[in-house]
Amino acid sequence: MGEVPAFCVDNLQNGFSNGFNLKSEGCETSTNVGDKTFVIGGLNDGSTSSIGVRIYEKSTGKWVIPTVLGTKPKPCKGHSAVLLSEDQILIITRGSTPDDCIWFLEVNTKYVKEQKKVLGTEVVAWSKGVRGDAEKPVVISGPSGVGKGTLINMLMKEFPSMCGFSVSHTTRAPRDKEKNGVHYHFTERSVMEKDIKYGKFLEFASVHGNLYGTSIEAVEAVADSGKRCILDIDVQGARSVRASSLDAIFIFICPPSMKELEERLRARGTETEEQILKRLRNAEAEIEQGKSSGIFDHILYNDNLEECYKNLKGLLGLDGIAPTNYKPSPRGIDLPLDHSVLKIDNKILINCETRESGNGSKNLIALDVSLLKGGAPGRTRGLNVYAIDSFSDGFDGIHKLS
Ligand SMILES: Nc1nc2c(ncn2[C@@H]2O[C@H](COP(=O)(O)OP(=O)(O)O)[C@@H](O)[C@H]2O)c(=O)[nH]1
Ligand SMILES: Nc1ncnc2c1ncn2[C@@H]1O[C@H](COP(=O)(O)OP(=O)(O)O)[C@@H](O)[C@H]1O
């Protein structure tokens, strides 16, 4: 239970308004969802690392401090809160960068409900809004020694500005040439287990006797750099990602034969005899599942490396693309400090009172939230942003910005 300033309790008990609250610096918004009021924000004195969230339960008159999951927005100079549905609240932060100003606070989504059960506490989860539809992440699985790492390295080398590797966590020891933070985050089992418990992982699995997992942060770091995220994970992990909110393409890499797989593993020379035998035993089950589980959208045979790489590029729409011609499309708009917010059906209209609009004309920004995808613990994608040019008597024109 949390302590709250008395003025807030008074406001809430008097039926404080729902959503559309643009507050000045240091203030809070309150949004009613069913029996609860979500109070978001707080004093912006630089003492907290994110925007605070508290819940007022009207039936009991009690305050609850929820467990807050997901990557959280940085403290900002105030924000607007709009109730989108009974599941989530849209937050527009003020004075943030264009790509960091739209967030979703999930209060009752499937993920939040699951986490409430796991943690036994009240839970909310942040998800950052991402404009448009970024290229889908790519999950690559296959038995040890099949060539996943080799193929992924080739992609990274040819398309460094388009593809980013999701650096997993593992409890296995680093190999000779592996670097912490580049190939894996090499982690103590106790630390990793604690982080798993606190919802920091999108998926995790025990593979060949070690723990491996993809942190939400690893995937989001790639998304933040504007690149397509490539995940090298085992079949169990792929199954978990399939069931998660991450909308990805799933590719399974098969060896031409078990004999060839064994030769590659031995030739790589990175494992002990005992580890090689364990990996070969597991390979049979992995190949069986890879082919029959229905998890994978595509199966590629890695017999001839160049041919397999060409096929992989084909699946990702990269065949024939000259890497040097690629430039991420510039996108984004700067939300001015002063704005007000209105929700009409699936559109959020932001009225920007810019200094230049002193002549009676105004600038409107419209967010179309009808095609949202994904969500916590990852990003919320499919957000469309439009500018509606200076209008006084009517709308002059709409320009899609993303
Ligand atoms: N579920 C899951 N599997 C992973 C992750 N990272 C790596 N793996 C898988 O763990 C297995 C062992 O990886 P590694 O020890 O690097 O050996 P390698 O497969 O021989 O390169 C491989 O099947 C990887 O795809 C992860 O984050 N999650
Ligand atoms: N098509 C191929 N033909 C022959 N050797 C290959 C082929 N693909 C990969 N290799 C080699 O097989 C070994 C295992 O490849 P690697 O990429 O480490 O596999 P994984 O990441 O799936 O464990 C490496 O030594 C690599 O150079």
pLDDT tens-digit series, residues 137-161: 999 999 999 999 999 999 999 999 8
CATH architecture observed for domain 138-325: 3-Layer(aba) Sandwich (3.40)
pTM of this prediction? Answer: 0.69
Give the model's pLDDT for residue 345. Answer: 85
Nearest-5° angle of CA 225, CA 87, CA 116? 90
- Ligand 2 in reach of 173 Cβ (< 6 A): no
Of 136, 129, 207, give the one whose Cα is nearest residue 168.
207
Given pLDDT bands bounded at 50, 70 and 90, which one contains residue 133?
Answer: low
Give the model's pLDDT for residue 252. Answer: 98
Instruction: Round to whole Å and give the CA distance between 137 and 229.
Output: 5
Residue closest via CA to ligand 1's atom 22 equals 234
Task: Provide DSSP, 199-235.
Answer: T-EEEEEEETTEEEEEEHHHHHHHHHTT-EEEEE--H
Three-state secondary-structure class, residue 361: coil
Give the model's pLDDT for residue 353. Answer: 62
Exposure on the CB side of residue 232, measured as CA atoms within 13 A: 22
Task: Give the distance (Å) from ligand 2 centre to CA of residue 298.
Answer: 19
The mean pLDDT of 78-82, rounded to a whole number, is 88
Task: Give the distance (Å) from ligand 2 centre to CA of residue 145.
Answer: 5
What is the set of active-site residues? 175, 268, 279
How far CA 142 is from CA of 13, 145, 160, 251, 288, in Å, comes to 57, 8, 23, 9, 10
User: 292 or 321, which is more confident?
Assistant: 292
DSSP 388: E
- Residue 51 token pair: 């925007």
- Ligand 1 in reach of 232 Cβ (< 6 A): yes
Residue closest via CA to ligand 1's atom 18 equals 144
Instruction: Round to whole Å and give the CA distance between 401 and 312.
Output: 32
Select the highest-mean-pLDDT range: 7-16, 238-247, 263-272.
Answer: 263-272
Residue closest via CA to ligand 2's atom 27 equals 150
179-194: pLDDT as tens digits: 999 999 999 999 999 9
Task: Give the distance (Å) from ligand 2 centre to CA of residue 341.
Answer: 54
- Ligand 1 in reach of 171 Cβ (< 6 A): no
- Ligand 1 in reach of 214 Cβ (< 6 A): yes
In the chain, which residues fall in CATH 3.40.50.300? 138-325
Q: Of 140, 168, 239, 276, which is best to mutate to test ligand 1, by the most ligand atoms within 8 angstroms of its C-beta?
A: 168
